Structure 1
Amino acid sequence: MIDTEALRTQPELDGENVVLAQLDDSYFAAAWEAVRDPEVIRLTGTHTKFTEEQIHRFLASRPGLEDRADYAILRKEDRAYLGDVVLSDIDEHNRSGGFRIALTGPDVFGKGYGTEATKLLLDYAFDVVGLHRVSLEVFAHNPRARRVYEKCGFVREGIQRQALWWDGEWHDVITMAVLKTDPRP
């Protein structure tokens, strides 16, 4: 059974170097910069050009949802915003959900923040919310993210050939998932 109350109230998740806190409009300035960073846009395959109003509205609507958990990734030492991590597309009948993460840009890549945030969210998904399966999609042109996901227990399940058109070429989308029963480092 899925604990929708855990999703609605979203407890803060505390790690060694990061804290996951409820995503809301108080993180607007850093989130606004992130959605305009060219490398973040490329790695997430985002074609949409967001407006400030859209980002404000999105962030303000995150608290209190019962069908997903949107977390801000904060550096533990100073609570600086590093990105967001999301558990979404909750399917109560099949105890499954989707996963997404986006860091703010190259200045925070490669420092272990994404790995730690992913592990914290998976522990929450399996041990608190009660999910059995968490899946994701990652673009083939993002090998750093694939390595992080594998390090956190995700297993490659398939490929969607030429599913993203970016900068004049087609890119594959790799599907991955982790089960509650899979080993997680």
Structure 2
Amino acid sequence: MNLAALENKPTLQGARIRLEPLGIEHLDGFVKQMQDPDLDRLTGSHGGNPSLEVGRQWLSTRKGTKDRLDLAIIETETGDFAGEIVLNDLSTANESCNLRLWLGASFRDHGYGSEAIRLVLAYAFDVVGLHRVELEVYAFNQRAIRTYERCGFEVEGRLRHALLWEGERYDALIMGILNEAA
């Protein structure tokens, strides 16, 4: 595995988006997109939207990490911050990690998520040398599930009642993709 590929944060260029190291320069767009009232439910975040100071603190630490990759999703045409995609929970012993993605409301249903996932998976498998990437998604988030399936992820399991949201319990699906070339 090439751990330097996680430490040396890349910029990945797609057809309509650019993935660049997430940092303090994304603060305004980050805080703006996090104001989406549905984002907390989709990500299972009970803490609510971060304040400007919490966002500043979080973003100021992203480029210094050595065992994860936090990338801003930037719409190339406008330069707007659309969301983030992250490789985290690295297991060097198992050559695997977790993937996390979120997009602001106005950037959903335009293919940006699929493009970001494909760019990051190519980097994870071909450059970092990972064998497996996994994620969790809530079973009610059919849009995300379809996106992950189109990118090659398969449902591998179910965590029953993993989320309690406004008095209702929801399952989470465990999805994974393997580097078949490895």
Which stretch has the larger CA shift, 173-182 or 116-125? 173-182
User: Is this contact kept in 1: 2:159–2:174, CA < 8 A?
Assistant: yes
User: Is this contact kept in 1: 2:96–2:132, CA < 8 A?
Assistant: yes
Describe the superposition over 1:119-162 as per-residue Cα deviations: whole angstroms up to 9, x where unpaired. Answer: 10000100011100000000011000000000000010000011
Structure 2 CA distance, aligned partners of 1:132 and 1:64? 24
**How does 1:8-157 map onto structure 2 within 5 Å?**
8-49=7-48, 50-105=50-105, 107-157=106-156
| Letter aligned with residue 53 of structure 1 | E
- Pairwise CA distance, 1:40: 1.2
Describe the superposition over 1:5-45 as per-residue Cα deviations: whole angstroms up to 9, x where unpaired. Answer: 11111111011111100000111111112222111112111
TM-score under structure 1 length normalisation: 0.94
- Pairwise CA distance, 1:66: 1.2
Which stretch has the larger CA shift, 13-22 or 75-84? 75-84
2:168: which partner in 1?
169
- Pairwise CA distance, 1:78: 2.4
User: Is this contact kept in 2: 1:9–1:64, CA < 8 A?
Assistant: no
User: Is this contact kept in 1: 2:24–2:59, CA < 8 A?
Assistant: yes
Structure 2 CA distance, aligned partners of 1:119 and 1:64? 24
What is the RMSD computed on CA atoms of the aligned residues? 1.1
- Pairwise CA distance, 1:167: 1.8
Structure 2 CA distance, aligned partners of 1:118 and 1:144? 14
Structure 2 CA distance, aligned partners of 1:51 and 1:80? 20
| Letter aligned with residue 8 of structure 1 | E
2:179: which partner in 1?
180
| Letter aligned with residue 71 of structure 2 | Y
TM-score under structure 2 length normalisation: 0.95
User: Is this contact kept in 2: 1:90–1:98, CA < 8 A?
Assistant: yes
Q: Report percent identity of matched pairs.
A: 41
SS of structure 2 residue aligned to 1:20? strand
